[in-house]
Amino acid sequence: MKKSRFVGQSLALLGLACLWGAAAAPLALAGTPPAAPAAAATVTCSDGASSTAGKGACSHHGGVATAKCKDGSYTKTKSHSGACAKHGGVAQFLDS
């Protein structure tokens, strides 16, 4: 009887695990749930929308906001000085 390629590779891996011990080739235990993926970080865009952080975040929403103004608008100023001056001041800086 001819072994399938998958079965042959699995047997070879199991053999290596036996030779080197479990620490060299850890195997998942039956019934062990897979690790949960890490939650993606989000950023607030200048128009108030949320986007996944990273390259191109908020590219269609005016860029990434750096502060939320007291009147509810957002700014993307590079300096904290004078941010939201015409909007009642800064309610919260988002980049710190």
Decide if 69 contacts 96 (C-beta within 8 A): no
Decide if 77 contacts 66 (C-beta within 8 A): yes
Q: One-letter amino acid identity for 49?
A: A
Decide if 40 contacts 52 (C-beta within 8 A): yes
Rounded to whole angstroms, the Cα distance separating 91 from 70 reads 5
pLDDT digit string (tens) for 71-89? Answer: 999 998 888 888 999 999 9
pLDDT category at 16 given cuts 50, 70, 90 is very low
Cα–Cα–Cα angle for 50, 54, 58, rounded to 5 degrees? 40
Decide if 46 contacts 64 (C-beta within 8 A): yes
Mean pLDDT of the chain: 75
pLDDT category at 17 given cuts 50, 70, 90 is very low
